[in-house]
Amino acid sequence: MKDVKNIFSDVKFVPSTNHEDQRGFFSEIYNEYDFKKINIEDNFLQDNLSYSDKKNTLRGMHFQLKPYSQSKLIKVIKGSIFDVFIDLRLESEYFEKFGYYNLNENDGWIYIPKGFAHGFLTTSDHTIVMYKVDSYYNNKKESGIIWNDQFFNIPWPTTDSELIISEKDSSLPSWSSIKEQNIEDI
C-alpha cells in the first residue's frame, strides 16, 4: 500500500492475509471476531459490489442522512482505486477534513465510520470494489457532495477530460450549499 493520507484514528486500514500455494491462494476476507479485536463493533447488514469497466471512473462523494447513515468496510477485489473520505461530523476535531488511500486487490479493508462522505476513483480498468455497510440504503436519505468541490480541493489523480462520472454524481451539490441547510442529520 502506498500514498496514504489518513489523519483520523477511527478510519482504519485492516490488512488481510493470502495463504498461497501452487493452486493460487485462500484468504479469509471477513471475520467479525478479527474486526471486534480492533474495536470495529458495527453490525454489517448489507454487502455491495461495484464494477467499473474503465480507469478514471469516479463514484462519490456519497453519504446517507440519519437515521440511515452508514459505516463502511471497503475492499478492492480486482484492480485499484483512489479511495477518499471526508469527515462531516460536527463534533469532530477533524470536521471538514479529508483523507485518502490508494488501494489495490492485494490490500486489506478500509473502515470508515458513520458521518463521513465517501467516494473513489478507479485507477485501473476492470475494477471491482466490495463494501459492507451497517445500515440499509434509503434513497430518500441519500446525499452527496460534488467530487471537485473547491472547499476540499481533493487531489484526484485524473483530469476532468479523462473522468467518467454518472450524471447523478456530476450534479451533486457543493458543500457550501449543504452547510446552508440543516447538517445535523449527517
Catalytic residue, chosen from 30, 62, 68, 100, is: 62
Cell for 147? Answer: 467530487
Please tell me the distance from the alpha carbon of residue 16 to that of residue 30, in angstroms, as a whole number: 9
Phi/psi at 37 (nearest 5 deg)?
A: -60, -25
Our answer to whether residue 33 is catalytic in this structure is no
Our answer to whether residue 19 is catalytic in this structure is no
Catalytic residue, chosen from 100, 101, 111, 131, is: 131
Asked if residues 128 and 78 have their Cβ atoms less than 8 Å apart, the reply is yes
Asked if residues 92 and 115 have their Cβ atoms less than 8 Å apart, the reply is yes
Q: Which residues does 174 contact at the CB level (< 8 Å), separation at least 6?
A: 145, 146, 149, 151
Instruction: Indicate which residues carry an active-site annotation.
Output: 62, 131
